[in-house]
Structure 1
């Protein structure tokens, strides 16, 4: 029997509850398909930070880098200032492990309500490939008061490093600035991943940018897209400004197969994707390094007001678990889990409140695990 060791960061709020259901379903899939997962729990999150002052250490990151995948619950707690945990744990891990792909399946399952009139499961089935380590999310910027000042901003990545020496002179009382950066190497590798994905689906890749306004950074993105596309002549392509693609997601989601996008725009449009596929409770995501350590999670937050209530929908987390084991090579088991999620929804007997039911988090996990076992 194949053995896997998978670190788990259950995180905050509802994180431990939803992760418990994801582990339960993966364990059942393992029993059926001939593999075993040893879950290794890590404490990092709000409670750990409040007790120790530590977000996540270099030693812990080095230890985690020895594993192929991490299972993440949710990060965020009202006792701690917004962004502290997210930047200090989630973004730190993404950058440290060079998880340069954020993978978001946008798939409407049969039996799930969508706010898009007359659209069905056959119309909403595409994947967003978001660049995950560059753009305006590199985390460098600052503020300057009236007069003259200097700043040195630096970004370090596996692929390169860059420094920005700023001589600032302003007669405004105060300004704020943020530096965005994309690299040829970083852009090409995420696009190659998107084109490889399209080779296995409907052979269409849509690019997202805002080159008509931010021509330096996103004109560069568009040029690299054209260069990568030229190496894949069997793939059809199109360009979309980010504001336009939000319209097309709503009006004609059936147009899309694989969508590749810079980091910031991807963050925005994947939330729209979550809503047209039925809501955040049904939206999984993966932070991927194809040659390193990847991390899988639901894209919703920690919902602290529901902590300990056994109330929230665990499907996004269970689906993220399916993505995790598929990354490990267990595709048949992953497909079985997604199929069981679909059957649970079609049966319409065991549902959480957000889907019109009255069952608890663990009830849904139990039912999906049963369907995997019996499938």
Structure 2
């Protein structure tokens, strides 16, 4: 039977536990396909890029890598990073090369409190907490502008310059994205995060753009909070959060804090979106390659499977996305958990339970 909808997806497991969690996510998506009655089909191409590829070829991905990915409907990514390759080489050579090459300017990181998972926040015991961090993903502190020089001066003579880049276009589009997202949520509120008291140029531009865009959304609550104060708010008043929008660095840090408050970075899903859909978007767990547990079969697959749910939604399959998220919640509620969240189940057991709970 010919599928009514066929999606071409590039899988890049890359390094460490990335191979394990991508396999888990693919198993869940294959179960979605099998239960669709031929309505949905995923056409996978797995690419061997990452640190092992670097050891053999001297690059993390081939020169024509973006061309290989360009025709895909989505990219499903594991994690990059291994002790044999400097972190800045692995990050810029693969993940950021894809993000910047495809202008994936909106990074979405939901903070989801799952049943059966103990949070270090006491408020999580009796308060519904659910917010999403919207991260500017193309410029800011991770623009890659700068360099190192004067190395020939001798000891302590070298100088490094790392410049943040903020543009009106970049600020406006991510802030507007956050407001549009807020309109879809029960609590229509956007919290903008900067450090504009100390960074008086780029982040003041961000603040200016936030005020301009907010004027177009009178139905949405707003607040502007310095990043240090927002870090405290994540812990002390998380019930007041809905959509948090911030620059590349600030949102990166805050989203990890949010994931830890939800119970584990292993639970955290993310999407690197090209909202204009000129290029494929990329979906990945937040947790990284975790070399210390790689190959042991004990890593938490929920972040990757949650990322697959985000991918389904992006592909126009919202009902299937909801099925996956509901299956994750049913699984944690049943007490089937990996050891990072207080359980004893291995990766395969959690994955099988999620598939069984797809309904």
Give the structure-1-normalised TM-score: 0.90
How many residues are treated as equivalent by the alignment? 349
Q: Spell out, residue by residue over 1:94-140, the C-alpha distance to the aligned partner (whole angstroms, 9 max, x if none).
A: 10000001100011112211111232474320111100011121112
Q: Which residue of 1 aligns with 2:301?
A: 314
Unaligned 5+ residue runs, structure 1?
149-171
Once the two structures are superposed, residues 205-256 of structure 1 have per-residue CA deviations (whole angstroms, 9 ceiling, x without a partner) of: 1100111111111110000011111111111100000000000000011101
| C-alpha contact 1:12 1:45 (8 A) present in aligned 2 | yes
Q: Secondary structure at the match of 2:140?
A: coil
**Range with bigger deviation, 134-143 or 35-44:** 134-143
Question: Does the CA-based 8 Å contact 1:108-1:120 persist in structure 2?
Answer: no
Distance 2:201 2:85 in 1: 37
Give the Cα separation in 1 of the matches to 2:344 and 2:130: 28
In structure 1, the residue matched to 2:347 is 361
Q: What is the rounded CA distance, in whole Å, between the counterparts of 1:117 and 1:342 in structure 2?
A: 20
RMSD: 1.7
User: 1:272–1:278: structure 2 CA closer, same or farther, 3 Å change rule?
Assistant: same
Q: Name which of 226, 233, 242 aligns with 1:248.
A: 233
- Which residue matches 1:115? 120
Select the residue among 31, 34, 37 that pairs with 1:31: 34
Which of 161, 178, 182 aligns to 2:162? It is 178
Provide the residue aligned with 2:330 in structure 1: 343
Q: Which runs of structure 2 are paired with 1:200-239 in the superposition (5 Å)? A: 200-201=184-185, 202-239=187-224
1:32 deviation in Å? 2.7
Look up the match of 1:151: none
Check 1:84–1:174 CA distance in 2 against 1; reply closer, same or farther (3 A cut).
closer
The answer as to 2:68 corresponding to 1:63 is yes
Q: Kindly indicate whether residue 193 of structure 2 is the aligned counterpart of residue 190 of structure 1.
A: no
Shift of 1:311: 0.9
8 Å contact from structure 2 (residues 9, 44) kept in 1: yes
Shifted more, 284-293 versus 54-63: the winner is 54-63
Is 2:134 aligned against 1:134? no
State the partner residue of 2:105.
Answer: 100
The separation in 2 between residues aligned to 1:360 and 1:228, in whole angstroms, is: 46
Residues 1:267 and 2:252 aligned together: yes
Deviates more, 1:179-188 or 1:114-123: 114-123
Provide the residue aligned with 1:326 in structure 2.
313
Contact 1:13–1:74 under 8 Å retained in 2? yes
1:204, distance to aligned residue in structure 2 (A): 0.6
Assess if the C-alpha contact under 8 Å between 1:3 and 1:38 holds in 2: yes
Q: Partners of 1:120 and 1:254 in 2: how far apart?
A: 12
Query: 2:25 — aligned with what?
Result: 22
Give runs of ≥4 in structure 1 deviating > 4 Å: none
Query: Deviations along 1:308-354, whole A, 9 cap, x unmatched?
Result: 21111111111111111111011110111110100001111x32222
